[in-house]
């Protein structure tokens, strides 16, 4: 059996033709225009299922990888077009193989679970802000330690200028030493920048991950905007809303 999948003209639902029957899935306007009217063909031969592009310029992904034709399973994640529209493959197979009635009206179609990303935006923003703060402080610390070096050097030099009263000379040298020791000890007690960034990354990795509890793939340093744009988890295929 063959199923032709594409975009419905006009209402832009997902359009399927199988065994001479046509039906639409999803809500009006849900299929982006990067999905062709006749985009791909799914062929079911007994247990074997395969997918192929119907035009060279069509873009079809199977489990996140762009393909022209490929053997698939009912669990494969099929996405069409550059905007990666998710095809509810299992639903289509169930409908065409007669496991559930063919629906033609608008309905909520997707069997792919959907999770909200909203909370991740503040997680990313906070990470970004704290990372910047650590980096700014590192620059400030480096400048301070340079200033301290110059001050100590000046103190030492002034301390050795001839004709200065001995008491004054000793005070200046001791002050210069005190400044040097103070900054040295402070530098020792501060965590290094690398350690701070590492701790921040650890803390962040626990929060910044796929919201699907059965997936939880860490997003690493992928910016929130990018994840928002992808609209979907590469690992588990769940959809994201925000």
CA 218 to the chain's CA centroid? 8
- Cβ burial, residue 189 (10 Å; 0-12/13-18/19+): exposed
Across the strands, what pairs with 67? 60
Closest distance to Zn ion from the beta carbon of 232 (Å): 9
Q: 52 by DSSP, 3-state: which?
A: strand
Nearer to Zn ion, 44 or 235 (CB): 235
Nearer to Zn ion, 59 or 210 (CB): 210
Closest distance to Zn ion from the beta carbon of 209 (Å): 8
- And the tokens for 94? 């169930």
- And the tokens for 115? 């999770």
C-alpha to C-alpha distance for 169 and 11, rounded to whole angstroms: 89
Euclidean distance between the first and the last CA atom of the chain, given in angstroms as a whole number: 38
Task: Give residues in contact with Zn ion (CB under 5 A).
Answer: 210, 212, 215, 217, 233, 235-236
Nearer to Zn ion, 29 or 64 (CB): 64
Nearer to Zn ion, 106 or 218 (CB): 218
C-alpha to C-alpha distance for 164 and 189, rounded to whole angstroms: 36
Closest distance to Zn ion from the beta carbon of 81 (Å): 21
Nearest to 1 by CA among 25, 15, 17, 22: 17
CA 67 to the chain's CA centroid? 23
Closest distance to Zn ion from the beta carbon of 240 (Å): 9
Nearer to Zn ion, 51 or 233 (CB): 233
Nearer to Zn ion, 193 or 235 (CB): 235
Closest distance to Zn ion from the beta carbon of 104 (Å): 32
Closest distance to Zn ion from the beta carbon of 230 (Å): 11
């Amino acid at each position: 059996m063959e199923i032709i999948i594409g975009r419905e003209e006009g209402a832009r639902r997902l359009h399927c033709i199988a065994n001479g029957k046509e039906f639409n899935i999803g809500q009006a306007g849900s299929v982006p225009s990067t999905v062709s009217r006749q985009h791909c063909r799914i062929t079911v031969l007994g247990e074997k299922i395969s997918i192929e592009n119907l035009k060279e310029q069509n873009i079809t992904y199977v489990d996140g990888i762009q393909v022209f034709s490929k053997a698939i399973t009912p669990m494969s994640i099929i996405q069409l077009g550059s905007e990666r529209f998710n095809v509810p493959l299992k639903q289509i197979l169930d409908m065409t193989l007669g496991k559930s009635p063919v629906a033609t009206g608008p309905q909520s179609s997707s069997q792919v679970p959907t999770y909200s990303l909203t909370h991740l935006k503040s997680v990313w923003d906070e990470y970004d802000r704290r990372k910047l703060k650590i980096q700014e402080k590192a620059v400030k610390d480096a400048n301070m330690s340079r200033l301290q070096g110059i001050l100590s050097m000046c103190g030492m030099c002034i301390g050795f200028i001839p004709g200065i009263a001995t008491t004054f000379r000793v005070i200046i040298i001791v002050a210069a030493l005190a400044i040097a020791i103070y900054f040295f000890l402070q530098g020792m007690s501060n965590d290094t920048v690398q350690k701070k960034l590492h701790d921040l990354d650890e803390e962040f990795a626990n929060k910044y991950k796929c919201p699907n509890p059965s997936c939880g793939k860490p997003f690493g340093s992928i910016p929130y905007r990018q994840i928002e744009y992808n609209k979907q988890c590469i690992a588990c295929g769940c959809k994201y809303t925000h």
